Amino acid sequence: MKPRKVFCLGFQKTGTSSVGLALKTLGYSVASYYPFRDLASKDTLTWDEVTDRALSIAESYDAAKDTPWPLLYRELDAAFPNARFILITRNRDAWINSAVKDFAHHPNAIHNLIYDCPYPVGHEDTWLARYDRHNAEVKAYFANRPDDFISLDMNQGEVNWDNLCRFLDEPDPGIAWPHANTHRTKRLKMKYYKMKRWLGLEG
């Protein structure tokens, strides 16, 4: 295990999958959305249930990214006082377009907790308002804590090895920055999860 944990606070669709690959390259074990997939279809779901599961999972990993981790920064900060936090942002129009493309009108109980509506189609303004509020609240919460927190803008080219390694005190691996979630990898992931559901291996 690494001496301190790292949590990516950028909302989904902000390059978090690539950040996860970068952290793995640096030797971090990375938790993601997968352990929460069974909660997405629950008729009733509370933040307490999500939080309890996340804190338990975090004990066994060096880092975490993707939904629902960004929303739990206060709890994670309290539970892991030596942790470091990374906020990734991107152009808000590009973000909502990506969210609409990927999540469309498919209901998700975790999304409902976050955005007060289960999917983005028809609720774009609501999702954008939550996205903006989250980024502002995270920056305010970690104001004056440069040793613990860094904010990186995708559109300014700030998400790179130089900034990540300097912040985490890790050596630059000397390879190209990883790019996850290409069209091909998304198709493969969808096939993988569909096969797991078909085989009854989820849950």
Name which of 123, 192, 164 is nearest 10 in CA terms: 164
Amino acid 180: pLDDT = 81
Amino acid 200: pLDDT = 59
Label residue 197 by pLDDT band (50, 70, 90).
very low
Do residues 83 and 2 touch, judged by C-beta distance below 8 A? no
What percentage of the chain has pLDDT greater than the value 70?
89
Q: Is the pLDDT of residue 44 over 90?
A: yes
Do residues 83 and 4 touch, judged by C-beta distance below 8 A? yes
Q: What is the pTM of this model?
A: 0.88
Q: Is the pLDDT of residue 193 over 80?
A: no
Cα three-residue angle 22-14-185, rounded to 5 degrees = 65
Label residue 191 by pLDDT band (50, 70, 90).
very low
Tokens of residue 57, six digits: 């999972």
Q: Is the pLDDT of residue 22 over 60?
A: yes
Q: Is the pLDDT of residue 185 over 80?
A: no
Q: Tens of pLDDT along 51-110?
A: 999 999 999 999 999 999 999 999 999 999 999 999 999 999 999 999 999 999 999 999
Residue 38: count of CB within 10 angstroms of its CB: 11
Q: Tens of pLDDT along 154-180?
A: 999 999 999 999 999 999 999 999 988
| Beta strand 63-64 pairing with 30-31 | parallel
Name which of 82, 78, 94 is nearest 11 in CA terms: 94
The residue among 182 and 98 whose pLDDT is bigger is: 98
CA dihedral in degrees (14, 89, 69, 33; nearest 10)? 0
Cα atoms found within 13 Å of the Cα of residue 14, Cβ hemisphere only: 26
Q: What integer is the mean pLDDT of 133-150?
A: 98
